[in-house]
Amino acid sequence: MYKKPLILVTNDDGISAPGIRALISVMSEIGTVVVVAPDSPQSAMGHAITINNTLHLNKISAENAEITEYSCSGTPVDCVKMAVNEILKQKPDLCVSGVNHGSNSSINVIYSGTMSAAVEAGIEGIPAIGFSLLDYNWNADFEQIKPFIKKIALQVLENSLPEGTILNVNFPKLKTEHIKGIKICRQAKAFWQEKFDKRVTPFGKEYYWLTGEFINLDKGEDTDEWALANDYISIVPVHYDLTAHHAIQTLNSWNF
């Protein structure tokens, strides 16, 4: 048994990403840390798992005896599954995923490998948090958000989470002013209007780059998008039960 809380750390940007290094630094102040993260970037993988290829784990030497690190050849969800089933001798007290380079607010939670790793931990009955920063710069400054990461993680460890609930935490893009505070929010109603940039290789073969524009249809001031736009940290409680409970009565009235 561990004397301190056992914390599993993962992400989707890869084990060498500055975001996860910042998260490891904060978690090492709280408990015993085990890191299992992809060996290469796995952004926008959603809840994908590897079933047609082998998986590989590589243990990485760490200077701090309280931190154990593994890189995994699979997806973020694979990392959590491998940690729970092959590496850890007991269930972690907490799983944290991130810090993602770029936000995972609104509909982006569906595509996010960062959040899918946290959701997988939630499915395993582990209190879990996904952290993201609205800054796509690889060299983004994570120092200002570290105290908030620690505060949120400690609150989850102290209070646990409602059954089946995972926290989606997004930090605003850091400007000259300080973060105003934390808002508990709902997911904004928004979507991506996709476009494909069609190109042709020198050999005449067509190929495509996915592009698009983020369309926010939600004007509410209780959403994650509003919070981020107004320099607040957004916390959205999410769950993996995708049942549209409000539609059950309607469907029962149909003539099947």
Give the model confidence (pLDDT) of 196-210 as tens digits: 999 999 999 999 999
Residue 178 confidence (pLDDT): 81
Residue 191 confidence (pLDDT): 86
Burial (CB count <10 Å: 0-12, 13-18, 19+), residue 131 = buried
63 pLDDT more than 80:
no
Q: How far apart are the first and last CA of the chain?
A: 54
Residue 248 confidence (pLDDT): 97
- Element containing residue 151 per DSSP (H, E): helix 146-159
DSSP structure string for 27-71: HTTTSEEEEEEESS--TT-TT----SS---EEEE--SSTTEEEEE
Q: Mean pLDDT throughout 143-168?
A: 96
As a whole-number percent, the residues of the chain with pLDDT over 90 amount to 84
Instruction: Please report which confidence band the pLDDT of residue 214 belongs to, taking 50, 70 and 90 as the band edges.
Output: confident
39 pLDDT more than 70:
yes
Instruction: Compare 139 and 223 and report the one with higher pLDDT.
Output: 223
Q: Mean pLDDT throughout 163-187?
A: 91
Cα gap 167→240, rounded to integer Å: 11
Residue 2 confidence (pLDDT): 63
Q: Mean pLDDT throughout 109-128?
A: 96
Burial (CB count <10 Å: 0-12, 13-18, 19+), residue 170 = buried
Residue 176 confidence (pLDDT): 58
66 pLDDT more than 80:
no
12 pLDDT more than 80:
yes
Q: Mean pLDDT throughout 230-234?
A: 96
Average pLDDT, the chain: 94
61 pLDDT more than 80:
no
The domains of the chain are located at 6-188+220-241
> CATH number for the 6-188+220-241 domain, one of 2.60.40.3500, 3.90.650.10, 3.40.1210.10, 1.10.167.10?
3.40.1210.10
Q: Mean pLDDT throughout 108-128?
A: 96
Residue 38 confidence (pLDDT): 96
**Predicted model pTM:** 0.93
Q: Mean pLDDT throughout 233-246?
A: 96
Q: Mean pLDDT throughout 99-120?
A: 95
- Is residue 216 helix, strand or coil? strand
Q: Is the dihedral of CA 173, 174, 177, 180 positive or negative?
A: positive
Cα gap 117→114, rounded to integer Å: 6
Q: Mean pLDDT throughout 118-131?
A: 97
